[in-house]
Amino acid sequence: MNAIQTLQQYIDESRRIVFFGGAGVSTESGIKDFRGVDGLYHLKYKYNPETILSRSFFLSRPDEFFEFYQDKIVQPTLNAAPNIAHKTLAKLEAMGKLTAVVTQNIDGLHQMAGSKNVLELHGSIHRNYCMKCGQKYDLEPVKNADGIPKCQCGGTIRPEVVLYEEPLDETVITKTVQAISEADLLIVGGTSLTVYPAAGFLDFYNGNRLVVINLDNTSYDSKAALTINGKIGEVLGQITL
Ligand code: NAD
Ligand code: ZN
């Protein structure tokens, strides 16, 4: 049996699939990842993405933060549509075979593809709020802002995105741990598994069918029942549902 046939068999036999993904899930939608070959780390900036997208940088240089955020995070997402990986996962959920998509992505493409139970470990660019009065906003005022987006009250509107140096949401953590610990099949894809605590949640998996689908090798390959070095959209696109 080849790798795709094995994955097909795993999916056919499973009823509580959890997918755990990262930026690589959206590269086939045209959004750059951080650490892949074409990722943002390989572009030449004054600072690397992790520095700019940190709490301390955001608080001390909000103008530079929003310049990068609007240019490199928000704008590419506005033109992006879900790819076959997002769509296959949404279909698996609709079929009653997949219980949760856990994602480190902040682009909202899983929901756009129709997924309902999406656990966004790092928040979403689509939710924003005023740091002074708490007023909630969608993406509009942020994407249209010239410089720092401002609320009517004068406060800064910030994305509900977990910056480096900030803790993850407790409710999302609890749901993630529960979904992974109850999963019969855990498919990990499009993530370098280098961002913590997110990557550490994989350790809550109790089953023996861990599948890793990634272009580069990851530190979890040795624990996987099946490792596929390939593009996640191309791989999941070969699954018959
Ligand atoms: P990463 O950039 O560290 O790693 C991406 C991994 O995906 C790499 O190992 C790469 O080889 C692989 N990859 C790239 N394209 C692929 C494809 N088509 N199929 C299979 N594998 C592919 O990403 P990460 O692990 O998610 O960590 C980066 C952090 O940055 C995350 O916390 C995330 O919040 C954020 N981020 C989000 C987005 C987004 O929302 N789309 C984009 C960039 C970064
Ligand atoms: Zn306000």
**CA 110 to centroid of ligand 2, rounded, Å:** 29
Domains recognised in the chain with CATH numbers: 1-31+82-122+168-241 (3.40.50.1220), 32-79+127-161 (3.30.1600.10)
Residues 96-131: tens digit of each pLDDT: 999 999 999 999 999 999 999 999 999 999 999 999
* Distance of CA 131 from the midpoint of ligand 2 (Å): 7
**C-alpha 92 to ligand 2 mean position (Å):** 40
> Which atom of ligand 1 is the closest one to the Cα of 21?
26
pLDDT exceeds 90 at position 41: no
Query: Is 42 one of the annotated active-site residues of the chain?
Result: no
Mean pLDDT along residues 36-53: 75
* Ligand 1 atom at minimal distance to the Cα of residue 31: 41
The confidence score (pLDDT) of residue 46 equals: 77
| pLDDT score, position 36 | 65
State the pLDDT at residue 34: 86
Give DSSP secondary structure letters for the chain.
--HHHHHHHHHHH-SSEEEEE-GGGTGGGT---SSSTTSGGGS--SS-HHHHTBHHHHHH-HHHHHHHIIIIIIHHHHT----HHHHHHHHHHHTT-EEEEEE---S-HHHHHT-S-EEETTEEEEEEEETTT--EE-SHHHHH-SSS-B-TTSPBEEEEE--BTSPPPHHHHHHHHHHHHT-SEEEEES--S-STTGGGGGGG--SS-EEEE-SS--TTGGG-SEEE-S-HHHHHTT---
pLDDT at residue 180 greater than cutoff 70: yes
